[in-house]
Amino acid sequence: MATHQWNQYMAEPTVAPLAHHPRLMPVGGGVPIFHEGRLVGGIGVSGGTSVQDHEAAEEALRNAGFLQ
């Protein structure tokens, strides 16, 4: 799932401890890469707002042929 979705989950008390997990990043800008229905990687963008970073990551994936 895209990292911006973690912000919503972190508000839940039962999930909030995951914010300290070293392999999870609960801020916007990270987008998973799927190819033929399989997760093959991810892309992360940083430098703007979380919305701008997310949009830039999706645009990069569109340009690479991973998003329609």
- Rounded-to-integer distance, Cα 40 and Cα 50, Å: 23
Give the contacts of 66 (CB within 8 A, at least 6 positions apart). 33, 34, 35
Is residue 37 included in any domain, yes or no?
Answer: yes
Q: How many CB atoms lie within 10 A of CB 48?
A: 13
Is residue 20 included in any domain, yes or no?
Answer: no
User: Which residues constitute the domain of residue 37?
Assistant: 1-7+28-68
Is residue 16 included in any domain, yes or no?
Answer: no
pTM: 0.75
Q: What tokens appear for 30 in the block?
A: 């990270």
Find out whether 61 and 67 touch, Cβ atoms under 8 Å: yes
- Each residue of 45-63: pLDDT tens digit? 999 998 999 999 999 999 9
Quick one: DSSP state of residue 39?
E
Is residue 13 included in any domain, yes or no?
Answer: no
Average pLDDT, the chain: 87
